[in-house]
Structure 1
């Protein structure tokens, strides 16, 4: 009669160890989430500091104008019936309305000088924009609305500008129309524009009949802003041309129109726009109130493209992958070599992997992301390499582990730097890693694998 063998202890089996390592991986997601929250907290703190710096210097720049504003008289008729005599009387009430005319030609030239301002570990991009606007107005035409010439208040016309950064305007803003000079002042009434969050600048009264002594009249004015983040200009000219030059080498071209020509170098950029009234969904004259045209602007962003917190956040998203693959390497080594690795030792290795991200955040705040990533990666790899040398009792397996970790951190860094090809490269990399694991584990007898 054969003697039956004692059954294996389940907790010493490969299945039990896979379950424990898997559970530990899930548990380590808790401190990993704390790290992500730390990155978010530091990122929000950076945004608060940037907002504070920008508010003291000057915010974003939005420019809509110059618009010729001409008041006219309209009449409201009401019928009043006498109850006794049944006689109907018509009362006529005069009301003042406004007509708005955009220039036929608008040429904008902007020279933007940027600089970075630092506070503690945070920095913001500020700029000074010197902008010149030239163009041509034609004599306003009221014929489309059948308004009598006698009802047009030609001597009470003005020119208005809508902008969002009154605080950032530097110096006087004076406009020359023909040979006459007019000074812009904050408008007493902002009702011309539909969006109340913006402010209006307006000239004193202009006598159109005197100034427009020819069919068309040129205008010219300069305006200088201290600003940050972006510049938005609404192309209200029947033909609008614009040119912007700057020492900023990472511009973002946004809005409804992109430049026809642009040249970006390490020392700055030049961009040019040519926009016809046929390219926009609004006309050249408006009666009653000006429309909100902020969504039809051409924009240039002056922001740091990817800051260190965004890169750290992207790196932390791969934390689960790093922990899982590192544990997998240790588990395969344990299974092949029959060396017992305690769950506590797995825990220490997992915490060391999480320390990579806290090191990355802290070092990045005082240096570049590339340098911080290299320092943090080397520190963690050396720590885990020395620890594995003590628990695996030879040099071959620790060398394999450090090589694998180095390749993994390099792979993740490459993905972080990529934008359009990040998904493609990441998918191919994970496919190759899976293939390598399948190849290494193909001959393991899992039924007899136990410590």
Structure 2
């Protein structure tokens, strides 16, 4: 009789616990915790994408070391020594007119699964120097050593130059050689002629022409040092990015390449035509063209993975609503399998992207995961109506995310509208659920 009373006393204590574990609240908590747990493998996927992206950058750096660096051109400039009370200093004179014509032939160079853009650029310079006037520089005319003047050109690296460099000045050809020059602007190297006697020639216009051939990667930049600088650049590369202090006056981009022209006056930039002591660093006042790889697929993979939490949360929400409406029981283990399948989408995406395009990889990975979850949900839900709805919902969700990834200017607007519509749909389908159970 005592044993019977003991059993009778224990029953009221265990029943509420059993009821709570079967309640809607408990199921919501478990699904929520599982969603947070799945952020751990999702973070590992993001780390994998970042690691592969770093491998891409290292490959680009390797190609850069072998082929040539970004190219920056600064010249030609007349360099005139003058005597001070204690030492020899230098005056630098910029051209009155500078015209540059650059023909840039580009291609994509691959190493293993990665690629970088390389180019060969033939740059032709022409123009003239005007009559020098250093009267405002507080230099006595007798201290200027015109007979020891030279012509120099600055660049960011000699490895990129192909062949000899010579300048045709006043009808005479002068070879340019690399020199150690403490007066050169930061991180630039000088090519300089031997002394040219300008004692007689400096009284009039001094024409010049110069051809330089470069091999480089990604970027070509030119300093607009002429009182009037006119530049034309043509290329077979179809994905340029124009940047720098001044954008092109005209530009045309097509699948066959691009052309761009710049016309820059002395009034358009904040530096003078003459400098004493040291050449200024003009990289910040120059114009550039970057030859971009059309699509940064690792960046798109990273953007896709950032929506992983949204995909997992909405998918679990769909299953939970179906479970609540249809009274079909879905075990937490089955939720786990569905969540892992959703995480696998991103590993499939990054691995297939490295051997194909992002669009093809997204399509293959999306179809594979949607098909897997749809077939798995047939066995869970014992019906074809709900699994077909799940398949359609996942297809719409992945399509929605792909559209957002492709958009740039309207990504936030499209994402906000889409999430608003999703919230409205959830509110509509959950309005008749009895949350008291």
TM-score category of the 2 structures, normalised to the smaller one: over 0.9
Secondary structure of 1:209's partner?
Answer: coil
1:133 aligned to 122, 125, 131, which one?
Answer: 125
Report the structure, 1 or 2, having the larger helix content.
2
Q: Deviations over 1:209-259 (max 9, x none)?
A: 2444x5111100000100001011110000011010001111001110000
- Please give the alpha-carbon distance, in whole angstroms, between the structure 2 residues aligned to 1:198 and 1:354: 49
Q: 1:24-43 counterparts in 2 under 5 A?
A: 24-43=34-53
Question: How many residues get paired?
Answer: 423
Q: 1:42-441 counterparts in 2 under 5 A?
A: 42-75=52-85, 94-187=86-179, 189-195=180-186, 197-212=187-202, 214-441=203-430
- Please give the alpha-carbon distance, in whole angstroms, between the structure 1 residues aligned to 2:153 and 2:333: 69
Length-normalised TM-score, structure 2:
0.95
- Please give the alpha-carbon distance, in whole angstroms, between the structure 1 residues aligned to 2:258 and 2:96: 28
User: Displacement, 1:151?
Assistant: 1.3
User: Displacement, 1:305?
Assistant: 4.0
Secondary structure of 2:84's partner?
Answer: strand
- Please give the alpha-carbon distance, in whole angstroms, between the structure 1 residues aligned to 2:416 and 2:83: 69
Q: Which residue matches 1:444?
A: 433
2:32 aligned to 22, 37, 47, which one?
Answer: 22
Q: Can you give the 5+ residue segments of structure 2 that lack an aligned partner in the other structure?
A: 1-11
Aligned residues: CA RMSD: 1.2
Q: Can you give the 5+ residue segments of structure 1 that lack an aligned partner in the other structure?
A: 76-93
Contact 1:50 1:124 in 2 (8 A): yes
Q: Which portions of structure 1, spanning 4 or more consecutive aligned residues, are displaced by more than 3 angstroms? A: none
Contact 1:177 1:211 in 2 (8 A): no
Q: Deviations over 1:185-212 (max 9, x none)?
A: 001x3212231x2211111111112444
Contact 1:240 1:276 in 2 (8 A): yes
Length-normalised TM-score, structure 1:
0.92
Secondary structure of 1:192's partner?
Answer: coil
Q: Which residue matches 2:9?
A: none
